[in-house]
Amino acid sequence: MYGLNGRILEVDLTTNNYRVVEVEEKIYKLFMGGRGLATYILAKTLGEKWRLLDPLSPENPLIIATGPLTGYYPGIKLIVSGKSPQSNGVVGSAISSELAVELKAAGYDAIVVKGASEKPVYLYIEDNRVEIRDASDLWGLRGRELIEKLVEKAKREHGLERPPGHLYIGPAGENLVRTAAVMAKLAHASGYGGYGAVMGSKKLKAILVKGNNPLPRIYNPEKFIELRQQAVKTLVERFARFRQWGTVSGTWYHGYHTSSMPIKNWQEEWHDNKEFSPGGFESKTWVKNPWADYGCPTACMKLSRTIAHGDKYVTDGPDYEMAAYLGTNLGVFKPEDAVRLSAVADDLGLCGIQTGNVVGFAIELYEKGLLTKEDVGYELKWGDVEAIEKLLYDIAYRRGIGRILAEGVYRAALELSRVKNTDLLKYTVQVKGIGIGAHGIRSGLDYPQPIAYACSVQGGDHTSVAGLPVKSTESEAWAAIMDSSVVCMFNDLGDNFILEYLNAVTGWNYTLDDLYNTGRRILTLQRILLLLGGPDVTWNPLEHDDNPPRFYEPLPTGPYKGRATDKSKVLELKAKYYAELGWDEKGVPREETMDKLGLGEFKNLLKQLVQG
Amino acid sequence: MQSKTRICLKLAGSECTLCIESSNCISIAYALDKYMEECGRVDLEHIVAVEGGRILGLNEVLCGEKEITVVRLVRGG
Tell me what ipTM this predicted complex has.
0.71
CB-nearest partner of B71 from A239, A444, A473: A473
**pLDDT (mean) for A338-348:** 98
Per-residue pLDDT tens digits for A33-61: 999 999 999 999 999 999 999 999 999 99
Of A203, A245, A237, A190, the residue nearest A118 (C-alpha): A203
Q: Looking at the complex, does the CB of residue A316 fall below 8 Å from at least one CB of chain B?
A: no
Nearest CA in chain B to A245: B45
Q: Which pLDDT value is given to residue B40?
A: 66
Q: What is the C-alpha separation between A65 and A104, in angstroms, rounded?
A: 10
Q: What is the C-alpha separation between A179 and A406, in angstroms, rounded?
A: 7
Q: Measured between beta carbons, which residues in chain A are less than 8 angstroms from residue B70? A: none
Q: Looking at the complex, does the CB of residue A262 fall below 8 Å from at least one CB of chain B?
A: no
Per-residue pLDDT tens digits for A475-495: 999 999 999 999 999 999 889
What Cα–Cα distance (Å) separates residue A121 from each residue in A115, A170, A280? 12, 14, 42
Q: What is the C-alpha separation between A373 and A381, in angstroms, rounded?
A: 11
Q: Looking at the complex, does the CB of residue A250 fall below 8 Å from at least one CB of chain B?
A: yes
SS3 of B20, please? strand
DSSP state, residue A90: B
In order of start, what are the domains of chain B with their CATH numbers?
5-72 (3.10.20.90)
Q: Which CATH architecture has domain A7-210?
A: 4-Layer Sandwich (3.60)
CATH number for domain A222-435, candidates 1.10.3300.10, 3.30.565.10, 2.40.37.10, 1.10.569.10:
1.10.569.10
What Cα–Cα distance (Å) separates residue A104 from each residue in A44, A98, A198, A425? 23, 10, 23, 43
Strand partners, A190: A182
Per-residue pLDDT tens digits for A410-445: 999 999 999 999 999 999 999 999 999 999 999 988
Of all residues in chain A, what percent carry a pLDDT higher than 90?
Answer: 92
Are the beta carbons of B64 and B5 closer than 8 angstroms? Answer: yes
Q: What is the C-alpha separation between A173 and A200, in angstroms, rounded?
A: 5
Res. B33: pLDDT tops 90: no
Are the beta carbons of A195 and A164 closer than 8 angstroms? Answer: no
Q: What is the C-alpha separation between A123 and A11, in angstroms, rounded?
A: 9
**pLDDT (mean) for A338-351:** 98
A384-388, A452-456, A574-578, B31-35: least confidently modelled range: B31-35
Q: Measured between beta carbons, which residues in chain B are less than 8 angstroms from residue A246? A: 77
Q: What is the C-alpha separation between A199 and A182, in angstroms, rounded?
A: 8
Q: What is the C-alpha separation between A356 and A362, in angstroms, rounded?
A: 10
How far from each other are the two terminal CA atoms of chain A, in whole angstroms?
A: 41
A496 Cα to chain B: minimum distance (Å): 5
Residues shown for chain A:
612
**Whether A238 and B41 lie within 8 Å, measured CB to CB:** no
**pLDDT (mean) for A133-157:** 94
Q: Which amino acid is at A450?
A: P
Q: What is the C-alpha separation between A402 and A56, in angstroms, rounded?
A: 19
Are the beta carbons of B60 and A238 closer than 8 angstroms? Answer: no
CB-nearest partner of B75 from A249, A489, A497: A489
Q: What phi and psi, each to the nearest 5 degrees, are found at residue B9? A: -115, 140
Query: pLDDT band at B14, cuts 50/70/90?
Result: confident
Q: β-pairing, A121-126 with A204-210?
A: parallel
B-interface mutation test, from A230, A471, A496, most B Cβ less than 10 A away: A496
Tell me the fold of A476-485+510-611.
1.10.599
CB-nearest partner of B48 from A249, A319, A494: A494
Residue A604 neighbours by CB distance under 10 Å: 11
Domain ranges across chain A: 7-210, 222-435, 476-485+510-611
Res. B36: pLDDT tops 90: no
B39 Cα to chain A: minimum distance (Å): 9
Q: Looking at the complex, does the CB of residue A473 fall below 8 Å from at least one CB of chain B?
A: yes
Res. B45: pLDDT tops 70: no
H-state helical runs in A533-611? 541-544, 567-581, 591-596, 603-611
What is chain A's mean pLDDT, rounded? 96
Are the beta carbons of B27 and B44 closer than 8 angstroms? Answer: no
Q: Measured between beta carbons, which residues in chain B are less than 8 angstroms from residue A494? A: 48, 50, 55, 71, 73
Nearest CA in chain B to A247: B77
Strands (E), A326-429: none
Which residues of chain B from 27 to 46 reach within 8 Å of chain A, CB to CB?
40-43, 45-46
Query: pLDDT band at A257, cuts 50/70/90?
Result: confident
**pLDDT (mean) for A130-134:** 97
DSSP state, residue B72: E
Q: What is the C-alpha separation between A62 and A281, in angstroms, rounded?
A: 36
Q: Measured between beta carbons, which residues in chain A are less than 8 angstroms from residue B45? A: 238-239, 241-242
**pLDDT (mean) for B47-56:** 80
What Cα–Cα distance (Å) separates residue A483 from each residue in A53, A68, A77, A94, A311? 24, 11, 8, 7, 37
**pLDDT (mean) for A71-87:** 97
SS3 of A180, please? strand
Q: Measured between beta carbons, which residues in chain A are less than 8 angstroms from residue B60? A: none
**pLDDT (mean) for A80-92:** 98
What Cα–Cα distance (Å) separates residue A603 from each residue in A325, A515, A593? 40, 22, 10
Per-residue pLDDT tens digits for A363-376: 999 999 999 999 99
H-state helical runs in A259-351? 278-284, 320-325, 335-348
Query: pLDDT band at A5, cuts 50/70/90?
Result: very high
**pLDDT (mean) for A459-477:** 95
Of all residues in chain A, what percent carry a pLDDT higher than 70?
Answer: 100
Per-residue pLDDT tens digits for A505-525: 999 999 999 999 999 999 999
What Cα–Cα distance (Å) separates residue A500 from each residue in A219, A222, B48, B54, B72? 12, 13, 17, 11, 18
Of B35, B36, B25, the residue nearest B60 (C-alpha): B25
Are the beta carbons of A54 and A36 closer than 8 angstroms? Answer: no
Res. B42: pLDDT tops 70: no
Q: Looking at the complex, does the CB of residue A260 fall below 8 Å from at least one CB of chain B?
A: no
Question: Is omega for the bond preceding A486 within 30 degrees of 0, making it cis?
Answer: yes
Query: pLDDT band at B50, cuts 50/70/90?
Result: confident
